Every structure is written in C-alpha cells, then in structure tokens.
Amino acid sequence: MTEIIVEPSGKIINCEPGQKLSEALSRAGIDIPMPCGGAGTCGKCLVRIIEGHSQPQPAETKLLTKEQIAMNFRLACQTTVTGDMRIRLTESRDSLPHQILTDSSTNGRRHIFAAVKKTYVELPEPSLEDGRSDLRRLCEAVCQKDCKPPKVGLKTLRRLPAVLREAQFKGTATVCQNKLIDFEPGDTTDNCYGVAVDIGTTTVAAAILDLTNGDRLAVDSALNPQVKCGDDVVSRINYCGSEPEGLKTIQTLIVNCMRTLIQNLCEKTGVQPDNIYEVTIAGNTTMEQLFTGVDPKSIGEMPFVSTFSRGLLLEAEDFALPVNEAARVYLFPIIGGFVGGDTSACILSSEIYNEKECVLMVDIGTNGEIILLAGGKLYAASTAAGPALEGARISKGMRAAAGAIDRVNIENDDIAFTVIGGAEPVGICGSALIDAIAILLEINVMNQTGQMISPENSDGLPPKIAARITKGDNGQSEFLIAQTPQGEKITLTQKDVREFQLAVGAIRAGVNIMLKKAGVGFEDVSKMLLAGGFGSFIRRSRAQRAGLLPLEIDREKIDYIGNASLAGAELGLLSIKARDLIDSICGKIEHIELSLDTDFQMEFASAMIFPG
Amino acid sequence: MTEIIVEPSGKIINCEPGQKLSEALSRAGIDIPMPCGGAGTCGKCLVRIIEGHSQPQPAETKLLTKEQIAMNFRLACQTTVTGDMRIRLTESRDSLPHQILTDSSTNGRRHIFAAVKKTYVELPEPSLEDGRSDLRRLCEAVCQKDCKPPKVGLKTLRRLPAVLREAQFKGTATVCQNKLIDFEPGDTTDNCYGVAVDIGTTTVAAAILDLTNGDRLAVDSALNPQVKCGDDVVSRINYCGSEPEGLKTIQTLIVNCMRTLIQNLCEKTGVQPDNIYEVTIAGNTTMEQLFTGVDPKSIGEMPFVSTFSRGLLLEAEDFALPVNEAARVYLFPIIGGFVGGDTSACILSSEIYNEKECVLMVDIGTNGEIILLAGGKLYAASTAAGPALEGARISKGMRAAAGAIDRVNIENDDIAFTVIGGAEPVGICGSALIDAIAILLEINVMNQTGQMISPENSDGLPPKIAARITKGDNGQSEFLIAQTPQGEKITLTQKDVREFQLAVGAIRAGVNIMLKKAGVGFEDVSKMLLAGGFGSFIRRSRAQRAGLLPLEIDREKIDYIGNASLAGAELGLLSIKARDLIDSICGKIEHIELSLDTDFQMEFASAMIFPG
C-alpha cells in the first residue's frame, strides 16, 4: 500500500500502487471534477505533485503548458500512483476571464486583487524611544508608504494588545479594504480563503477558494431548502406575504443551507472557518433579496422593483455564517426586475461584454435568463422556465450530484447511460433529461408535439426499446431509462416531457423576443453561450434536437460554459476590480420585461413544439 | 403674563413682562451660560429672537456684529421681555477656530463639514419605464453628480421598502460619510444633532450640537463614576488588572454615565435620540481606552504604550448609547503615553498649531497636560496633578455645577462669594479654590509654604476674617468660606491646601521641564493658555498668586480658554476636516515622558512653595 497526503486538508489516503490517482481520490471520498470522464481532455482534474514523481503522459503534454509540467502540475486521471506522494488539489481556471485575472507579461500567472490581504510582520517591541501605540506600530508595518492607515473594528482592537504580546510582536495582520480585521500569531499568510455561492431557485452551489493564488479547493451543492415554500420565485414572494413570519422562515432556510455548505467545504479541505474572510453571492433578484431578509413584496408586483441593485457589501456576522467574525458578504449587482446577480455574475465570467459581434447567452435555471449583446449594447431578460432542467417537477429528476444519470445514449439498439460518481443510478439530472428527450424524438418514441407512443404502437421499434415503453398508473406512456439494484424504475413520464416543453418553450420564446427587440436575427448571432448547472457538458446536437438551442444557429457557434454564475461569484471573490467592472456594466444593461410583451404568449405556445 | 416659545425644544414658558429674558429662562429651568454674571460682556447667553422684538442695548451693540444685530441675535441678559416671543437658544462660537469653521467671504457664517448630512428628496414613483431599485432611486437623488453611490447597512435596507412607500417616496435621507444610515418620511433635515463629550478622569462634560448650523443647544456634566475605582488614571488601570471583571465594571460605569448625560441633553432640548448621528469623545489616553473596553495594562507599565493612537471611528451600537442605531463614535487621537485625546482636542480648539511664536498651554485636570509650541515644533507632556482643581480630594470640593461657589472675594474686610445658578452654596469648585488660596496668601492667613495660621495667632487680622479661622477635628486650622442655610460649614482645610499645592506643583514642575527640554525660557513665551472646566473664568492675578500660573509670564499674555477639550470635541463633531487636521498634527508632536526626567522630583518639590 502506498500513502498519499492530500493538501490543503492534509488528509492521508492509502491505495494500491498502479491505480490512477483520480480513482484513489474518488475511493477515498475526495471528489474532483472530471467532466471528460477521465479522457485527459478537459483539464478539470488538475493537481500539483509536491512530493513523488509522475512521468507526463501524452494527454498531459498536449493539454498543459511547459511551465505547468515543469511545476509538476498533472492530471489526476492520467497519473498512475507508483509510490508515496504528496499532492495539492487545485483546478484549472482556464475558463475564467483573462483580462481580469491574468497578465501575459507574468507567464500567465493570475493576478489576485482580493479584498482581503494577509501580511506577516515582525515588529520592533515598544520602548521608551519608540512609544508608538500597538495599532500604529502594526499599521505602519503593514501599510505601504503613504497609504491611509487602516481602520479597525472594536473586537479586533480589544484582542490586539494581548495577542501582540503573546506573539512577541510577530504575526500576521489581515486587512480587508483598509480595515484591520484580524491579527494572528505567527505566519498565517497562506491561510486566506473565501467562499463563492450561487444561490439558485432550486440549487445552491458553493466553492471555496484560496485567496492567495485563486485555486478552487472544493465545491459543494445542495437543494435550495426554500423549495418547500414554493418552487419558483413568485410563489416564494407570495409565501413571504401570506405566511406569518414567512420572510423570516424563508430567509432562515437559505442562511442555514449556506451555513451547512460552508461547513462541508471546511471539512472537505481542512480550512478553518476563521480563515474565511469573504463570501460572494450570485443569485437572482428574489434569491438575493430573500437572503438579505428584505421584504420582496415590491419585486412581485408591477412594476417589479427590487430594493437594491448595485453590488452590496454586508457583514457576514449579521447572518451568523461559519466564517471569520469580521468577514463580509458581497452580493452581485441586480440588473432589473427578476434579472439579478446570477446574471451579472454570468456576464462577468463569460466576458460577453468584451465581444465585438452579436452574442446570445442563456443561463438555464428555474428562472431562465437571456442576455443578448447586439450593436454594442447588452440586453437582459428573465423567463420562468421552471425547475425541470434542475431535476425538480420531473418524476425521477434530481440535481447533478452523485447517483444522477448524466448521460443517455443509444448503444446496440438499446439505452445506455452513465452515472455521476460511477455509482448506482438514483435519478436523472438535466443533461441526461436533454439526452433522453432528444433520443426519444430521434427514435420516434415521441412526436413533435411531445406525445409518446403507447406500448401497443411500438411494433416498429427495436425490441429492447419497445420493451421500455409502459403505461403508468395514470394511463399515460412512460419510458424506462434505468433500474436501480433495488428494482426501482427510473422512467421518463409523459408529464416529465410536458415540464421539459414548458421550460424549453419559455426560453426559446424569450430568445425570439429578445432578438426582435434588439432588431437582430439568428443569422446575426456569432456565438451562443449556454450556462447552467445541469451536470455533464451537454451535447449541442442533443440540445438542438430537444429544442433547447435554436436549430437556426450553427452548431459550431454554440458553447456550454457550465455554472457561469458560480464562476462569476468566484471571480468577484478574487478581484475587487471585477466587482467594480460588473457594477458599472450593469448600470448600462437594458432590462426587457418579457411578461409585458404582447407577443410572448404566442411565441411561447409555438416554441413548445419540438423542432421538426 | 407673556408667553415665550423656546426653540429648538418648542417648550413654552410664561413670565411677567419687564423681566430679563435670562431670568425668565432660568426660572423655567432652562440653563444658559452666563459666566459674566449678566454684565453683557461675555456673549455666552446669545439667543436669536425669531418672533417678537427687542431694541439692541449698548452692551449688545458693543459686543455683537452688525450682521448679528440685523439677524436679531441678542444677549438674554440684556433683553427685557415686553411681549410674546419665540426665541432660539444658541451660543456664540467666537472662541472656536475661524480657519476651520468660518469663512470671511460668507459674512462670518460658519461652514459645517459634519460627517452626517440629511437631504430631503421627492422621488419619482417606480413605473415600468423607470424600474430602478429603491436604493438606487434614492441614492441617485441624494448624491451629487458623479459621486460614489452610498453604501447601506442591513437594518436600513430592511426598513427601506416599507418606509419609502408609506412616505409616498418623499422623505429625508441621512448619509454619513458615504453610507446611507436612515430614511425618514417628510422633511426632517432640521433634526440633525451630535453630542460632543469630554471624558475627564474626574468630570465628564457633554454638549449637544445642531449639526445643521453648529449651534450648541445644551451642555451637561457629571462626576466620572469611575472615581469609585480610583481617583487617578494609574489606580484605574490597576483596578482593571486586580479586580475580577475589573475592566468590564469600569467600562460599564463610563458608558452608563455617558448614556445618562445624553438622555439629559435630549430632555433639556427635546431632541430625539434617533436624531443624534454622531458622538465625539475627547479623553486622556486611559479614559479613551477604558471607554472602548480595551485592556489598559500596557499604558500603566513601562514604556507606557496605548493600544490605539490615531483618531478612531467606532459604532455607537457597540456601546448601546441612546442615539441613532447607525450613529458612530469618534475618539480623538492620542499623542503618546498618558497624553491623550483631551489634549489633541485642546490643540484643535485653541489653534495653537497656527501660532508663529512660542506658546504654552496648560490643560488643568486630574491629569494635567502641558503643550508647548517652540521653534515651530509642538511638545506635549502629562503630569499627575490630582483632582483637586475639579473639586475632588477637597473636603468641600465639587465640580462646577449649580450650588458651587465659583468666586471668592474680599469685600469690606470680609469674604464674599458667588454661587453658580445663584442658588444656596453647597460646595466649592476649582475657580473659587484658586481665589481662596490667593486671598489667604494675600491677607496672610497662610504663608508661602502653605501653612495656615492657628486661631490664636489671628489677632492682627480684620475681626471678620479672624473669626473664620477655626481648628478642625484633626487639630489643624481651617478657614470658613460660607455656611449653608442648614448651617453646614463650607471650609478650606489645611489638607485642602496641601492637595492644591500638589496639583499646582506638578503642573509648574512640568512646565519648567518642558521649557528646558525645548530650550526656551519664560521670557520667550508670547502667550500662555490655561484650559480646564473650573467653573467661572479665573482671574489671572489670582492664579499667579496661587502659583498655578508662573509669575514670570506677563499677565497680559495669559488667557483662560475654558473647557478647550470639550470645545475641541465639538469642533470634531462639526468638521471632519478638523479631524483630519488634528490627526496629522498629532503625528508630529513630540511626547515628553516627565516621569523619566531625573530633574522632575526636585522641580516638583520646589514648585510646591507658593510664589513669595
């Protein structure tokens, strides 16, 4: 047995030599992203080998830069464990905007402009000749010449004299945008972390980042527990107005959920909550406002006005999050109406604002957001797609977590599938739902209107396929995708198809109206970006077949960019310049209120028909 | 009977026509300062007559400017009530620095640069064409063009949507240094107040100011309740180290005292606590640190280092002061060692930093502070004078409040005195103590060493004076100054004289050493300023006779400037520019540690002898 020490947590795992490193990590319960399924093509499982050796494999020399190879960066899926190792988990940030975080003059090293900075200092001890106060002594050592002296909070001030003396005037000062927020004995400059959160209507995702180098150390996600108060934003707003203490209840649910996620991230990585200094949040208008505990009533009524819109800095203490007591919470700016901070975060991470030509971006969630860049101007709209693509309202739906079927294929005239984490299937997530719909249309199990054939009419189908079509309790057809070892059937029902049609129809109708408003057509679109936390990368052909992506746009022009909202929240954590940038961009975006458009209902109805 | 409406409280008082306005106010329990005793020479009882008429009297035309007369400013002591009036209490600010608060180009009107600003706005209501968020709508109306959008706290944000709508989008926004801290329905721009506090070791004084025009509306003072934990700073520091929960106890005492003072000020003026937006505090190093609840241990030990020194902004909420929940507390910068924010406040209000020649300033308190400007450089030192001049450790001593004897004279070969508020005497305050010591020396009741003659040796004295000399229980002489209606004797004891000698000796020794350090002599001093809250203006001849002021300095060069620390705290309330100014000045002051000077004890011993 060999031993692998996994940093930053320091966890020790054991495995048989000859195993792939990715496999060893996975068996030990350490999830690393591997959307390419271990083919060595996506680069998401990047690790750094600190001790031990691994000969670079062809896939690695192809994907990684020479500098990365030289610095012992490797892909966990390509690395064979041959002896004891010490590795550091990390993640490639190739998808993040280069303009903000990288500088080509420094060999591609990212520039971090985090709000929080830790500095180790060794101070001269006070003497009769040098009677400066504790705070001044510290600040003059931390500040660059001529900078303003940091402010300080009362709690930090009260701790300062004792800590300074216990530490013999050697320690680490934490300064957050000109405020001294902590002083710790010894050199703790490496322990500087932040958490980025994407609060979706249905799914909440969080990532913990090392603010000294920008590395993402772990991610976690959970169902938004507010779903029990309503599964879309309007029903949650109504809940606040109709239930006694409704706002408080619904706020507590999301705050508790974030608390659990942050605790999980700390456990996964060994990071101390005290060393988390900032939390950035990207959520739609309603999600952000509910998090703050501000009554969302005015968002739900004409003319759909939120209480705040610019990027907002609050105290983490007001939410009792398990982070440093002086930590802050940054909420991404709201664009208008229901188009909120998740969209601004998507705009930030996708860099759509930098494009020259016409670009369309769709962020799929329970609230679907559509962003269009046309004629140098940004337009944004929101459409109630419903939670189908996040697995809710789908009979066997689930979010993209271990046990979710994330891919469905036809192999040997039968259905084949893959499961996240390689485990037994439990349900079906968004990417597999798109696959399944596309396949059922392709193999004629379903027609253009979404009507499934009944078992008695399945004669022309391959026998294994035909056998999967049954009648449910309600007398409607359903299609068997998988069966759990316990014999539970994972099927796609007629009602599931209808939910999917509603989601896709809302988005396509929105896209059509946005293009019309901006006076452009599909032929003008140079690029289309699809964002969302479905699970695997979705196949563009399947998404077009299932009606999610317009057939009118050439397949090569379409890119799936993953959870761009979370990526934006991470950027906001790493760069206060990025926050200023998105705040100023948001001030210039034209918000289009789709619900007020007279054509919307008609567009919606026709968009529910699958492409022929 | 006529009716007088007294603003800003709106209190209505009745009086007989023909009375002086000052008398009418005093009978109604409204104290206005009148240190000249109603002679119309000090200008402290300035009021503005809003309705009603008063012919200017000779004393008024002499003291006030033409503009002031034209604007119906009058002296309450010179104004005869002839009919119904509406007046506004105010106070001349002639003694405050002109550089910061007045601008000659605007007819002497003060420029207020308070941190807090209230703006009344009438906002367009939200519509489909104008879907800006509540906060953005408000901020864009409040901000000047191109200014940064204000930040906002969570509590204000949570209240905002409901208050805005209840007020039909018309109301007053309160912004404190780029943070929106309140929104109230209607126009409340006139209700903008601040409280300045001078925390002395023995006495705490507070003033409430109208931040829209700088007027001081009321003052109040109290004994610092920490005296029960020790009557000087060193014993208080020791108390924190030796008593369980000592720091907490001692901090709670001062915070509670401030709470009571602020409540009193609100009651006197009718100001709502919610409309107090800032509190400035000037106190010596120990007083400021104890207020913040930061362990003062390091101040009490070599090398006497405080925890903070620059001007400090904290949240009033952390001290549960009866002010607006978003109000802030500003602490004046500490110069070094025991020389703290009271001294920096004195420097600010005295404008000593603007002088060209050599100037000496002494702030008399339990901690006596000495400031010297010589050769363009400021020096500062602190000396443990003890609380005698604030009435503590003096058998019948009291602070300068109603009932205190504040003046002692010789009239018709006997003792005469005046009492603050014109009431019956209760005790004796600092200014009367100086008077009494000077008189006893003059009429040979006491010799240069401070020894009082015994009753049996009083034959040569005028009989009424001789009759006042008795023997106390301890067999030592004492001198009767007054008797209360209840027959209680207010005497000056031999021990009181010794306490006075200690105080005066410490200050004079400090002055001597400071001059020596700076390489200047008394002959170089172009001006000497004496600050402190003794009560009445002290007479220079008396203070010189009693040894408090050096005989070597020409009488015309000496000025008594009152409670300059409180005046400085008031300036800090009215002008954030003044805060920046004093912070930068303090960085350049040379702090001299008198206790380390080998000559100090010898100087002290010889300075205890009264001038011959």
* Chain A: residue whose CA lies nearest to B159: A294
Residue A320 phi, psi (nearest 5) = 50, 45
What is the residue whose two structure tokens read 């800095």? A313
Kindly list the residues from chain B whose CB atom is less than 8 angstroms away from the CB atom of residue A313: 151
Closest listed residue to residue B291, CA positions, set B327, B252, B349, B346: B252
The whole-angstrom separation of Cα A309 and Cα A149 is 31
Using the beta-carbon criterion (under 8 Å), do A298 and B165 form an inter-chain contact?
yes
Using the beta-carbon criterion (under 8 Å), do B298 and A126 form an inter-chain contact?
yes
Residue B285 phi, psi (nearest 5) = -50, -50
Cis-peptide, bond into residue B8, ω within 30° of zero: yes
Give the Cβ contact number of residue A48 at 10 Å. 16
Q: What is the CATH superfamily name and number for domain A192-385+520-531+561-596? A: Domain of unknown function (DUF4445) (3.30.420.480)
Give the Cβ contact number of residue A33 at 10 Å. 16
CA A332 to chain B, closest CA, distance in angstroms equals 14
Using the beta-carbon criterion (under 8 Å), do B308 and A135 form an inter-chain contact?
yes
Give the Cβ contact number of residue B156 at 10 Å. 21
User: Residue B363 has what pLDDT?
Assistant: 92
Does any CB of chain B come closer than 8 Å to the CB of residue A109? no
Coil, helix or strand at residue A18 = coil
Kindly list the residues from chain B whose CB atom is less than 8 angstroms away from the CB atom of residue A302: 128
Does any CB of chain B come closer than 8 Å to the CB of residue A286? no
Residue pair B290/B308 in contact by the 8 Å Cβ criterion: no
* Chain B: residue whose CA lies nearest to A140: B310
- pLDDT tens digits for range B592-612: 999 888 889 899 999 999 997
Does any CB of chain B come closer than 8 Å to the CB of residue A309? yes
Residue B360 phi, psi (nearest 5) = -115, 135
A412 dihedral zone (left: phi>0; alpha: psi -120 to 50; beta): left
Residue pair B578/B571 in contact by the 8 Å Cβ criterion: yes
Q: Which of A131, A153, A308 sits opposite B135 (nearest CB)?
A: A308
Substitution target from A125, A129, A165, A308 for chain B, most B beta carbons within 10 A: A308
Coil, helix or strand at residue B15 = strand
Question: Which residues are paired to A275 by β-bridges?
Answer: none
Query: Which of A244-253, B121-130, B206-215, B383-392 comes out lowest in average pLDDT?
Result: B383-392
- Indicate the pLDDT class of residue B101, thresholds 50, 70 and 90: very low
User: Residue A340 has what pLDDT?
Assistant: 97
The whole-angstrom separation of Cα B331 and Cα B354 is 23
Q: Give the CA dihedral A379, A383, A388, A389, nearest 10 degrees.
A: 0
Amino acid of residue B6: V
- pLDDT tens digits for range B491-536: 999 999 999 999 999 999 999 999 999 999 999 999 999 998 776 6
- Do the bridges between strand A358-363 and strand A328-331 make them parallel or antiparallel, or are there none, so unpaired? unpaired
CA B582 to chain A, closest CA, distance in angstroms equals 15
- Do the bridges between strand B2-7 and strand B85-89 make them parallel or antiparallel, or are there none, so unpaired? parallel
- Indicate the pLDDT class of residue B35, thresholds 50, 70 and 90: low
The whole-angstrom separation of Cα A295 and Cα A560 is 35
- pLDDT tens digits for range B3-25: 888 876 667 788 888 888 888 88
User: Residue A95 has what pLDDT?
Assistant: 31
Residue pair A19/A81 in contact by the 8 Å Cβ criterion: yes
Q: Which of A162, A315, A596 sits opposite B128 (nearest CB)?
A: A596
Q: How many residues does chain A have?
A: 612
User: Residue A314 has what pLDDT?
Assistant: 96
Residue pair A543/A530 in contact by the 8 Å Cβ criterion: yes
The whole-angstrom separation of Cα A425 and Cα B243 is 66
Helix spans in B50-127 (H): 58-63, 66-70, 98-101
Substitution target from A132, A133, A137 for chain B, most B beta carbons within 10 A: A133
CA B591 to chain A, closest CA, distance in angstroms equals 9
Q: Which of A127, A133, A307 sits opposite B134 (nearest CB)?
A: A307
The whole-angstrom separation of Cα B336 and Cα B333 is 9
Query: What end-to-end distance do the CA atoms of chain A give, in Å?
Result: 57
Using the beta-carbon criterion (under 8 Å), do B295 and A133 form an inter-chain contact?
no
CATH 3.30.420.480 in chain A, residues?
192-385+520-531+561-596
User: Residue A196 has what pLDDT?
Assistant: 97
Using the beta-carbon criterion (under 8 Å), do B306 and A337 form an inter-chain contact?
no
Question: Which residues are paired to A47 by β-bridges?
Answer: A74, A89
CA B391 to chain A, closest CA, distance in angstroms equals 32
Both tokens assigned to A543: 């998404």
DSSP class of residue B506 equals H
Does any CB of chain B come closer than 8 Å to the CB of residue A147? no
Does any CB of chain A come closer than 8 Å to the CB of residue B168? no
Coil, helix or strand at residue A283 = strand
Coil, helix or strand at residue A354 = helix
Low-confidence ranges of chain A (pLDDT < 50): 91-109
CA A420 to chain B, closest CA, distance in angstroms equals 40
* Chain A: residue whose CA lies nearest to B135: A308
The whole-angstrom separation of Cα B342 and Cα B364 is 11
User: Residue A104 has what pLDDT?
Assistant: 30
CB pairs under 8 A between A and B: 128
A494-518 helix and A600-607 helix, angle to the nearest 10 degrees: 130
User: Residue A108 has what pLDDT?
Assistant: 35
CATH 3.10.20.30 in chain B, residues?
2-89
CA B133 to chain A, closest CA, distance in angstroms equals 5
The whole-angstrom separation of Cα A480 and Cα A464 is 11
Cis-peptide, bond into residue A611, ω within 30° of zero: no
- pLDDT tens digits for range B430-475: 999 999 999 999 999 999 999 999 999 999 999 999 999 999 999 9
Does any CB of chain A come closer than 8 Å to the CB of residue B313? yes
Q: How many residues does chain B have?
A: 612
User: Residue A513 has what pLDDT?
Assistant: 95
CATH 3.30.420.480 in chain B, residues?
193-331
Both tokens assigned to B405: 């004897």
User: Residue A126 has what pLDDT?
Assistant: 96
User: Residue B92 has what pLDDT?
Assistant: 36
User: Residue A412 has what pLDDT?
Assistant: 93
Using the beta-carbon criterion (under 8 Å), do B306 and A126 form an inter-chain contact?
no
Does any CB of chain B come closer than 8 Å to the CB of residue A313? yes
Query: Which of B139-153, B316-330, B497-511 comes out lowest in average pLDDT?
Result: B139-153
The whole-angstrom separation of Cα B79 and Cα B25 is 11
Instruction: Classify the C-alpha dihedral B54-B60-B61-B67 as positive or negative.
Output: negative
ipTM metric:
0.81
| Alpha-carbon distance values, B288 to A180, B255, B317, B528 (Å) | 20, 11, 17, 27
Question: Which residues are paired to A402 by β-bridges?
Answer: none
Q: Which of A161, A307, A314 sits opposite B294 (nearest CB)?
A: A161
- pLDDT tens digits for range B332-355: 999 999 999 999 999 999 999 999
Kindly list the residues from chain A whose CB atom is less than 8 angstroms away from the CB atom of residue B132: 305, 309
- pLDDT tens digits for range B382-393: 998 888 888 888
Residue pair B110/B100 in contact by the 8 Å Cβ criterion: no
Substitution target from B132, B286, B305, B330 for chain A, most A beta carbons within 10 A: B305
pLDDT score of B105 more than 70:
no
Residue pair A17/A83 in contact by the 8 Å Cβ criterion: yes
Does any CB of chain A come closer than 8 Å to the CB of residue B149? yes
Q: Which residues contact A337 (CB under 8 A, 6 or more apart)?
A: A285, A299, A304, A306, A382, A591, A593, B131
CA A336 to chain B, closest CA, distance in angstroms equals 7
Substitution target from B142, B146, B301, B309 for chain A, most A beta carbons within 10 A: B309
Kindly list the residues from chain B whose CB atom is less than 8 angstroms away from the CB atom of residue A596: 128
Using the beta-carbon criterion (under 8 Å), do A304 and B131 form an inter-chain contact?
yes
Kindly list the residues from chain B whose CB atom is less than 8 angstroms away from the CB atom of residue A132: 305, 309
Both tokens assigned to B107: 């007819």
The whole-angstrom separation of Cα B178 and Cα B373 is 36
Cα B202 from chain centroid? 13
Both tokens assigned to B299: 């101040």
Does any CB of chain A come closer than 8 Å to the CB of residue B310? yes
CA B305 to chain A, closest CA, distance in angstroms equals 5
- pLDDT tens digits for range B238-293: 999 999 999 999 999 999 999 999 999 999 999 999 999 999 999 999 999 999 99
Indicate the CATH number for domain B116-185. 3.10.20.880
Kindly list the residues from chain B whose CB atom is less than 8 angstroms away from the CB atom of residue A148: none
What is the residue whose two structure tokens read 């010789």? B410
* Chain A: residue whose CA lies nearest to B149: A310
Candidate CATH numbers 3.40.50.300, 3.30.530.20, 3.40.50.2300, 3.30.420.480; the one for domain B193-331: 3.30.420.480
DSSP class of residue B354 equals G
Kindly list the residues from chain A whose CB atom is less than 8 angstroms away from the CB atom of residue B297: 161
Coil, helix or strand at residue A205 = strand
Closest listed residue to residue B308, CA positions, set B340, B280, B281: B340
**3-state SS record for B433-463:** HHHHHHHHHHCCCECCCCCECCHHHCCCCCH
Q: Which of B157, B292, B307 sits opposite A307 (nearest CB)?
A: B157
DSSP assignment of A119-188 equals: EEEEPPPP-SS----HHHHHHHHHSPTTPPPPEE-HHHHHHHHHHHHHTTTEEEEEEETTEEEEEEES--
Q: Is the CATH code 3.10.20.30 the one for domain A2-89?
A: yes
Substitution target from B307, B334, B588 for chain A, most A beta carbons within 10 A: B307
The whole-angstrom separation of Cα A179 and Cα A159 is 15
User: Residue B484 has what pLDDT?
Assistant: 87
Does any CB of chain B come closer than 8 Å to the CB of residue A591? yes
Closest listed residue to residue B541, CA positions, set B468, B458, B441: B441
pLDDT score of B97 more than 60:
no
* Chain A: residue whose CA lies nearest to B295: A158
For residue A115, the surrounding DSSP H or E stretch is: none
The whole-angstrom separation of Cα A321 and Cα A279 is 9
CATH 3.10.20.880 in chain B, residues?
116-185
Calculate mean pLDDT across residues B392-418.
90
Residue B54 or residue A305, greater confidence:
A305
The whole-angstrom separation of Cα B364 and Cα B201 is 11
